[in-house]
Structure formats: C-alpha cells, structure tokens
Structure 1
C-alpha cells in the first residue's frame, strides 16, 4: 500500500477536474471504476476509485482518491493498493507507488501554476 495526503488552497471543482484529467490521461489502461460526490453546507467531498492494468507483472492496482473542501482549503488523500502478487507474501513491484505518484505529481504541477 502507498499513500499520499496533502492540503492545498483552491477551487474544489478546478482541483478535482485537474486531478481527474491527469489520472485518466496517465495511461491507456487507467479506468475510473466509480465515484461519489457529497455536499453538506460549504463542505464538498468527492471519492473516485480507479484501477490500472500493469503488463510488467500481469496484475491490476487500485487508486482511491478522496478530495474534501471546506471553503478554499482542500484536503487530498490518494491510496494505492492491490499491486502485489502472491497469496502469503504480498510482493509488489511498485504498482501502488506508481498510482499514488500520479496524484502527487498532479498536485505539484497545480501548486506551480
């Protein structure tokens, strides 16, 4: 499992759209599995689940993305999982890290605007 979390400032919809575009365009085998959106007063929450097929080890990995805003403060959590092989030993070739790095690079790019 790999995890990246950060807090940034911005407009919720703009940040979410930026992340969704970067994740979707990161690979042909990246798929949006499902998503959920919720708003309560001035708090917005978006959850997205992606999966990606990795040819190098013949498996799939999952990326869970949560974006929460309260005003202009936005919390982002990206968790990658499922990229391992084996029943007893969960040997991973870095698929989860790869998935989470997409989000981290996207946010770093956002912060450089």
Structure 2
C-alpha cells in the first residue's frame, strides 16, 4: 500500500537532507542519493531512496524522498511503496512509520502540510 506525505519547510533542500541523514537508522537504509543545483537562481533538488525490511509484514519497503525549492519554498515529498502484504495490500502501518522517520527529523521546520494519505 502506497503512502504519501507532502509538506513545505523553512530551510534549503541540502540543509534538509543533512538533517535527515544525521539519523543513523535512516542513513543505513539509504540506497540512492542525488543532488543537483540548477539555473542562475541556484535552485536545489535532492532525491533520496531508502529501502528497509519490516519484520511485521515480512516485506522490504522503499521510501523515495524528493526535496526541492523550484517553487520558491522548499517542498518535501515522501512516497513509500512495496510495503503491503497479501492480496489486500495491507501494510500494517509500515508506510506511515517509514515516512515518520523523515518527518521527525524535519518536524521543527515544517511550515505547511500539503497532502497526507
């Protein structure tokens, strides 16, 4: 079952990524990262992909996080996937708990929650 969480924060994308990766549990689940600075205005984008095995579902879940400031404010998008179990795709809260690791690191910088499923 896919979970999605989108919010804006009051720090630059690369600063947000540094805060996220301070957590050893989060950093150990990192399987891909990419950072780009584009244009004259030095707009930043970071893409992080995490993978973690959850015993409660017996599945490996993935979490993709994008952080960019292309719209003037820093936007964070978290998408968890592959965490459902069985034909009904029940995730037993795995997707939300994976996203919660990221949210917890940026909680004090959140300006507005845009979407949450």
SS in structure 2 opposite 1:44?
Answer: strand
Report the TM-score when normalising by structure 1. Answer: 0.80
**Deviation at residue 110 of structure 1 after TM alignment:** 4.1
Q: Which has the higher contact order (CA 8 A, sep 6+)?
A: 2
Count of aligned residue pairs for this structure pair: 107
What SS does the aligned partner of 1:108 have? helix
In structure 2, runs of 5+ residues without a counterpart are: 111-117
Q: What stretches of structure 1 move > 6 A for 4+ residues in a row?
A: none
TM-score, normalised relative to structure 2: 0.78
1:7 is matched with 8
Shift of 1:71: 9.0
Q: Secondary structure at the match of 1:92?
A: coil
In structure 2, the residue corresponding to 1:61 is in which secondary structure?
strand
Unaligned runs of 5+ in 1: none
Instruction: Kindly report the root-mean-square deviation, in angstroms, between the aligned alpha carbons of the 2 structures.
Output: 2.2
